[in-house]
Amino acid sequence: MIYLDNAATTPVDPQVAQVIADSLKNDFANPSSLYKIGAQSEYKIAAARKTVADCLGAKEDEVYFTSCASESNNIAIYGLATARKNWANKIVTTGYEHPAVRKPLANLAEYGFTVVNVNPKDDGNINPQDIIDAVDSKTALVTLIHVNNETGAVLDIKTLCDKIKEKNKRTVIHIDATQSFMKLPFDVSKIQCDSMAFSGHKIYAPKGVGGLYLKKGTNIKTVMAGGGQEKGLRAGTENIHYILGFAKACQLLQPDMRRNLAKFAQLKAHLLNGLAQFDNVMINSPDNAVPYTVNFSFMNYRSETLLHFLEADEIYISSGSACSKGAASHTLTAMGVDAKRIDSSIRVSFGIHTTEEDIDTFVAALKSAQEKLQKVKR
């Protein structure tokens, strides 16, 4: 099997799986219980929280565990925006956000918020000044995706946060770091963002666990009430087993982030070199995109047809965002890409287990597809 869809999800690391298996057997007590074994569960969660916080550059009490990045985004967006409704009704965002951001913003628009979308240019990049210019005295929230999930386009969040705060220090900034956490080195203590969402299943932990960074002292309304877990921000008995696995995944990746980036850069160069032999390939990812995601169009061949052709050889890619289920790419549409090119677009995303041999096999399979598949007729 050749798996080239790591932006959608990653395989669970065996060491992470072992931590979870051990916890399932040993850590059954509710962390909120007052007796000894409950306190032991609470202690283990606290240790995991410190591990994740250290990877972020955050304080322990600024990290909250959730079920996924989508939940983290929802908690932050609804909670931060509504907490400022009395003085501000404007939200600024990019035109290529993940649905976990776009849909909550659409709901807030129905409740009186004005949502301003800053679209990418045709090269896939967003002009940072356009985001800054959209911020005014009535801007409650700016929410930005650090790395776009479809093209790998990356924003300079540090510079953007500095300039947004300079323009309106009351505006809160949320970052969706789902595609950058534990892949791009950064330190939230040096970034003027107020919250950040991230996920476990993008970093070799299981689905069902994620995290939210919330800067200490940030005013936020609770949108998920209940028993008071996670300092009242996210109610529900903590999933200690997956939390411990999540922390283990962070611990495993942290020492090798820069080495992994160098490896991804080599893989990307190898892929682009292989794609150069095709006269029908159009690269959709920006030149300065992250090295672990490449979006391109294999013109005149429908992406869904190509996906299933490759699947027959156990080669797995994506025809866009895994959350869009075959819908036309929102990101490429926002870039102004024409429908035929969108219909032929695929995304290849590398993981720590990807090899150059995998890329060679994939490129050879594209050649075979070109020979055997009927072209799109339009």
Task: Please identify every residue annotated as catalytic.
Answer: 323
The sign of the dihedral angle between the CA atoms of 225, 57, 189, 148 is negative
DSSP codes of every residue in 317-350 = -BSS-TTSTTPPPHHHHHTT--HHHHHTEEEEE-
The sign of the dihedral angle between the CA atoms of 119, 193, 208, 350 is positive
Q: Where are the alpha helices (DSSP H) in the chain?
A: 14-26, 36-56, 69-82, 99-110, 128-134, 157-167, 240-253, 257-275, 303-311, 330-334, 339-343, 356-372
**Residue type, position 299, single letter:** M
Q: What are phi and psi of 3, to 5 degrees?
A: -105, 115
Alpha carbon distance 266, 272 (integer Å): 10
Q: Give the 3-state secondary structure of 103-148.
A: HHHHHHHHCCCEEEEECCCCCCCCCHHHHHHHCCCCEEEEEEECEC
Pair 182, 55: CB distance under 8 Å: yes
What's the chain's Rg over C-alpha atoms? 21
